[in-house]
Chains A and B, each alone.
Chain A
Amino acid sequence: MLSRELLKEALRRALATGADYAEVFAEHTRSKWIELVSEKVDAIGDNVISGVGIRIFKGTRCVSGSASSLEPSAVLQCASRVAEALADSAQVEDLVLRERIFGDVHPVKIVPGDVANSEKIDYMREACLAAREQSGEIVQTNGRIQEVDHKILIATSEGLLTQDRQIRTRLFVEAVASADGENQTGMIAPGARKGIELFDDFDPRELGRKAAAQAVTMLHAGYVSAGVMPVAIENGFGGVIFHEACGHSLEASAVALGQSQFVGKLGQQIANPKVTAIDDGTIPNGWGSVNIDDEGTPSQKNVLIENGILKSYMVDKLNGRRLGMASTGSSRRQSYQYEPTSRMTNTYIAAGEDRDEDIISSIEYGLYAKEMGGGSVNPVTGEFNFAVREGYLIRNGKICEPVRGASLVGKGSEIIQKIDMVGKNVARGQGMCGASSGSIPTDVGQPLIRVSSITVGGR
């Protein structure tokens, strides 16, 4: 992408005013999405992103700059502009860049860019048609296939030169059911760090049927009444509860600035002893997986909480300096235009020992959250809110009628104490996580869990 000589010169310029660390991040990304509305191709986006982001550190002070160009003059200009923000002068010694190849544990069989639109359209259309045919109440379907071929290069004043190519594909199928002027939606959206071979993992008709079934179920659901109750949260995307309520507060970006409920709690019991939580960027072909993070550090499996005890934060280089901690390979950025910071990869609650049937039968009156929607959290207070996409009431230990309009509201540090039953079957679900360094692919996950009491919003 950029020559070794150019990278060395850019780093030299960036260091010229006294920085003690400099980093060049270059990117060339092709992305494409194809959207079907009611089984017909409605729009296609087809984009190339190309540019450079340069950072320098002096102690814990960071200066950064970016430019939408990989032309040598633009890269060098960006480096000089960044250096100008520091006033000192410095003698920069000759840099030696040594290339490191960390390997790729995420094989891609079919590069999306090599496949014609028509093949992708046929697959998505089949999924949408299956949704349509599922029920006469389905009035619309939306399908979307999204692919990214993200090439990155990182060179630092520590002498590191490394590259990665991240290919990801995701399929969205949404069904809208309508009756008596009311609409409800159902959605399924699997993705992986894979190419078009992702099609082999899912029968398109099955995707369509699932989305439609969810929409129809929710269309005939009544509203849940608000209150405090025990909730059983299903595996897979249910893990968004941990992601939102705790994961963000374990990012060094929040911890280093004192904006986290878990500051100073390493080694302490912060969760129910049943809870072990992991952030693992090394899962082969995982949606949130990376070979190297966006500072060039190899990704690793980080145990965050073990049997309720806080073991580790997720740390990037800059916040690592503030905390006196080494990077955990957790630095991520959406693109060269964002400054990287500590983020999650594939985050999940590990398997426990409770049987699913025991979890359900333990609840006299409560909510079974089969599919969660998205959510958000205030990292300072840990207060969160997330939507239940598909929920059912539990009465006398049995899953009963579906309910709509439910949301779960609580505080992260309290909820993880209340996870008092943890099932055996971990599944992961895909999401896009938004924060200061942009929108990045992350997996959430867990087995079926029970939260002994939580505020359920409804009407």
Chain B
Amino acid sequence: MTYQEFKESVIREAKARKIAEYEIYYTESESTTVEIFQEEVKGYSTESSLGVCFRCVVNERAGYASTEDLSEEEAVSIVDRALANAGSIESETKALLHKKGDHYEKVSETQKEEVSGAELVETALGVQRKLYQADSRVTDGTQTYLAQGREKYALYNSNGLDLEDRAAYTQCVAVSVVKDGEEMNNGMADKMGAMKEIDIDALVAEAVEDAVSAIGAEGVASGKYPVVFSGKAMASLLMTFASVFSAEEVQKGLSLLKDKEGEKIAADCVTIVDDPRYPGSAVKRSFDGEGVAAYAKNVVEDGTLNTLLYNLATAEKAGVKSTGNASKPSYASVVGISPFTFYIKPGEVSREELFRKAGSGIYVTSLQGLHAGANPVTGDFSLAASGFLVEDGCKAKPVKGFTVADNFYALLKKVVSVGSDLELVHGRVGAPSVLVEEITVGGK
């Protein structure tokens, strides 16, 4: 059956069980992905997916159930399952459904691009050819991915909210592998946006430069150094620790930002923004995972923590208004909290100026092992890194195989200067290059 029919069945079943408060959340997506290896199409896939989540609130407790099987039988089953699950919840957090009355910003309709499968393949093959042409050391293993997709999010609840957002995107990822003698390195670049806006030459240059520049990289001596993080490296660190700004983590005691709103938590030069409709992001949203209007805000402003990120339940607990950051990474997810496009606001200093300020130190361009070597509860991280030495205020020879270890909370306060070169990762998280004083480096 169609979603509309399924939705009506679910509403009927909910009414039959006298469930007064409930919500139906629906997503559907379609995508086509092309993968090029050597000079051939290695993979071509089309995906069409959908899912429905039913959430009911009974005695202030939320019960969830989800399905991809839009049948009459499942319409009955998800209502029953959600009701039973609501009865098992013991958390004292009061579950809430959003009410009507918000003003929803109209999301500018993303340019609908009807690029055919054949065109996608041609474009991807073109990127791959350019990767091989960019440097004679580019070798097999080099791959191009080009994906195009559309998404739809819909939310209906028993308070009369009935919302829908649509988005379309194109994403191109170039992975280069270079071989120089026995040494192999890889590099990556990724861009999102409308197909015609993607600068393919810049993408290719970035992916190849990323791999080539690491040729001949050596270790570094253990010690404490001033470190310049590249925008990408800093963004990956911010992404890993983004959860510490969640009111849910704070209220559960899993973030050290408890009672820090209004206080300095970072150096004066640090401003961190959350924007649901950032111009460079492919997916722009008008409402969050609970149907609250989404808006842009400075989470950290000139070093001061302005606000945590809230959904309805955590806002109620703290006696504030939701910041419209309820998240559902998938239709089936329990409502959590996350930023939309989350980025450190760029400053006015060039990267070269940061190198000059660092004098002698390390320029970290890549961090690995973020899911394992970083602990958001404590803020501690110890991560494998690669990059370049900074000598006499300039970028010097490549280095790899070392670790950088510090604490995220401490690092925010140790930022000396913020660059002007914002880089966005997956359209979701961004940062400019950033100079940080004294970080522990483990190497030779």
Contacts and interface: CB of A to CB of B under 8 A. Distances in A.
A and B interact physically: yes
Contacts of B62: 43
Contacts of B318: none
Contacts of A375: 369, 372-373
Contact of A257 (B37, B46, B369, B441): B37
B108 interface: no
Contact of A64 (B45, B48, B380): B45
A387 B382 contact: yes
Interface stretch (B158-166, B287-295, B398-406): B398-406
Contact of B380 (A28, A51, A405): A405
Interface string A110-139: 000000011001000000000000000001
A46 B63 CA distance: 9
Contacts of A68: 48-51, 68
Contacts of B42: 60-62
Contacts of B332: 45, 47
Contacts of B185: 380-381
Nearest to A27: B68
A385 B403 contact: yes
Interface string A15-36: 0000000000000100000100
B368 A378 contact: yes
A66 B368 contact: no
B291 to A, nearest CB: 19
Interface in B325-383: 332-334, 368-373, 375, 377-378, 380, 382-383
B253 A385 contact: no
Contact of A380 (B93, B177, B443): B177
B405 A459 contact: yes
Interface string A384-421: 11110000000000000000111101110000000000
Nearest to B121: A85
B113 interface: no
Contacts of B140: 257-258
A176 B368 CA distance: 25
A58 B52 CA distance: 36
A332 to B, nearest CB: 17
A41 B41 contact: no
A231 to B, nearest CB: 13
B373 A117 contact: no
A34 to B, nearest CB: 7
A337 interface: yes
A44 B90 contact: no
Given A46-B85, A64-B45, A337-B47, A374 B372 contact: yes
Contacts of B47: 65-67, 337
B432 interface: no
Contacts of A28: 69
Contacts of B186: 259, 378, 380-381
Interface stretch (A98-106, A161-169, A181-189, A290-298): A181-189
A334 interface: no
Interface residues of B, number: 76
A317 to B, nearest CB: 14
A409 B91 contact: no
A149 B313 CA distance: 32
Interface in B81-103: 81-82, 84-85, 88-93
Q: Tell me the interface secondary structure of chain A in the complex.
A: strand
A446 to B, nearest CB: 18
B184 A117 contact: no
A403 to B, nearest CB: 11
A378 B333 CA distance: 30
A457 B403 contact: yes
Nearest to B405: A459
A376 B184 contact: no
B141 interface: yes
A62 B40 CA distance: 11
Given A62-B43, A66-B47, A117 B85 contact: yes
Given A81-B46, A85-B44, A182-B378, A383 B403 contact: no
A60 B44 CA distance: 12
Contacts of A227: 222, 442
A426 interface: no
A132 B280 CA distance: 46
Nearest to B65: A46
B444 interface: yes
A374 B371 contact: yes
B139 interface: yes
B372 A405 contact: no
A225 to B, nearest CB: 8
A43 B67 contact: no
B377 A48 contact: no
A331 B185 CA distance: 27
Contacts of A117: 84-85, 88
Nearest to B143: A257
B46 A82 contact: yes
A44 B63 contact: yes
B226 to A, nearest CB: 16
B90 A40 contact: yes
Nearest to B184: A380
Interface in A53-89: 60-70, 78, 81-82, 84-85
B437 interface: no
B58 to A, nearest CB: 13
A46 B51 CA distance: 13
A267 interface: no
B64 interface: yes
Given A49-B68, A457-B382, A386 B369 contact: yes
A185 B92 CA distance: 24
Interface in A419-459: 455-459
B29 to A, nearest CB: 9
B334 A407 contact: no
Nearest to B377: A183
B68 A259 contact: no
B410 to A, nearest CB: 11
B66 interface: yes
B51 A459 contact: no
Contact of B40 (A47, A61, A226): A61
A46 B64 contact: yes
A50 B369 contact: no
A132 B386 CA distance: 41
A456 B90 CA distance: 43
A48 B65 CA distance: 8
B252 interface: yes
Contacts of B50: 68
B315 interface: no
A411 B217 CA distance: 14
Contacts of A303: none
Contacts of A404: 380
A323 interface: no
Contact of B372 (A41, A62, A258, A386): A386
A182 to B, nearest CB: 7
Please provide the 7 A-B residue pairs with the shortest distance between their CB atoms, ordered closest to farther. Answer: A226-B442, A457-B403, A385-B369, A385-B384, A374-B372, A459-B440, A40-B90
Given A65-B45, A67-B49, 12 more contacts: A43-B89, A48-B67, A50-B68, A78-B48, A176-B377, A257-B37, A337-B47, A374-B372, A385-B369, A386-B372, A409-B403, A455-B403
Interface of A: 28, 34, 37, 40-51, 60-70, 78, 81-82, 84-85, 117-118, 121, 139-140, 176, 178, 181-185, 226-228, 257-259, 337, 339, 373-376, 378, 380-381, 383-387, 404-407, 409-411, 455-459
Interface of B: 37, 40-51, 62-70, 74, 77-78, 81-82, 84-85, 88-93, 117, 139-141, 143, 177, 184-186, 222, 252-254, 256, 332-334, 368-373, 375, 377-378, 380, 382-384, 400-403, 405-406, 440-444
19 contacts: A42-B89, A42-B91, A45-B64, A46-B64, A48-B74, A50-B69, A140-B253, A176-B254, A182-B378, A185-B375, A258-B177, A339-B45, A385-B368, A386-B373, A405-B382, A407-B373, A407-B382, A455-B403, A457-B405
